[in-house]
Amino acid sequence: MDSKIVLNVAKEDGRSRLKESYHNAPYKLTHYGAANLTDHLEMIIMSASPGIMDTDHLHIDVHVKEEAQLKLFTQSFNKLHPMKTGASQHTDVQVATGGILHYIPHPVTPFKDSIFKATNHIHLAEDAVLMWGDIISVGRIYMKEAFEFDRLHTQTKIFRSGKLAFIDNQLLQPKKQPIQKMLFFEGYTHQATFIFSALFAQELKNELDEILTVEYNDISYGFTQASSDVVILRALGSDGELLYDFLQMLGQLCWDFTMHKLSESKEVEVIEKEVTEPVPVVAESTVVEAAAAEAVVTKKKSTASPRKKSVSKSKTEEGLKYA
């Protein structure tokens, strides 16, 4: 089955609003909570299907317009059923100038003999911000289907200002690769990836160096700066929900940091505007005219005083004359 999801977000009256949406069976796109509860928009992708079947194809198109902010959620784990041909999912993302996108879906669970390919093409404007997550499970562990899937291929490309800034390419084939050993899953059952992309990625990396110093018993993780505007984190664990909550925590941390940076930039803009704003010419002429008028009044006062003294003196002399 071919399915499609379209989501366009724009900023109006200081809030991010849903401008266009489309979905067909078995998917549904709706608001996540109250529509006007926050200045940013929150949407959730829901599905009436038990999972992705053989030959299914899903296309997701997300457009975050200028200065709009979107948090996109999913309903539940993405289950990949047994396949012979394979299924695919392609996501196209456009984030315009000043836009922000936060998308951390639930883990992907590949059943035995499943074949799946997911491609993500993300196009960011010069100052756009991205928070992106991805979690892969090794299969239905309690059904004894760990590492029993056939092929799982995920590829994420991030473009900034039209140029390729980052690519993450993972191809997992348990029947051909030792993915349970070193440099793969290393005994864990879930792998998580978190990507943050912004012009101030270096500043976030410095913050993470101080914040992420705690060692978790159930999670092993590491992070690095992949490029000047990309920070990537990898985590391994044995609980999909735990890793999902971990990425959500990181996503919220990055969201708050982004809001802080935006408020800082607005304050700087206001200060620069006040410093560089020229003094109106009208005000200058008014000051000059007021100063000139004050000088004229002072001159009149200084010239009027001797006359009064002269008149007073003549009257005195006249009185003495007739005395």
The CA distances from residue 194 to 35, 122, 168, 211, in Å, are: 27, 14, 11, 16
**Using CB atoms within 10 A of its CB, is residue 43 exposed (0-12), middle (13-18) or buried (19+)?**
buried
Asked if residue 269 and residue 208 are part of one domain, the reply reads yes
Assess contact for 189 and 109: CB atoms under 8 A.
no
Asked if residue 147 and residue 289 are part of one domain, the reply reads no
Asked if residue 17 and residue 116 are part of one domain, the reply reads yes
Asked if residue 164 and residue 262 are part of one domain, the reply reads yes
Asked if residue 314 and residue 186 are part of one domain, the reply reads no
Asked if residue 144 and residue 15 are part of one domain, the reply reads yes
Q: Please, what is the average pLDDT of the chain?
A: 87
What is the pLDDT, as a whole number, of residue 214? 82
79-108: average pLDDT: 97
The CA distances from residue 186 to 138, 159, 217, in Å, are: 12, 31, 15
Residue 288, domain extent: 280-323
Pairing mode, if any, of strands 78-80 and 41-47? unpaired
pLDDT digits (tens, 9 = 90+) for 138-196: 999 999 999 999 999 999 999 999 999 999 999 999 989 888 876 788 889 999 999 99
Residue whose entry in the numeric block shows the structure tokens 């940013």:
40
Asked if residue 157 and residue 266 are part of one domain, the reply reads yes
Asked if residue 129 and residue 165 are part of one domain, the reply reads yes
Look at the chain and report how many structural domains it folds into: 2
pLDDT digits (tens, 9 = 90+) for 217-236: 889 999 999 999 999 999 99
pLDDT digits (tens, 9 = 90+) for 255-299: 999 999 999 888 777 777 777 766 565 555 554 555 555 655 455
Assess contact for 11 and 63: CB atoms under 8 A.
no
Asked if residue 167 and residue 56 are part of one domain, the reply reads yes
Asked if residue 178 and residue 140 are part of one domain, the reply reads yes
Asked if residue 303 and residue 237 are part of one domain, the reply reads no
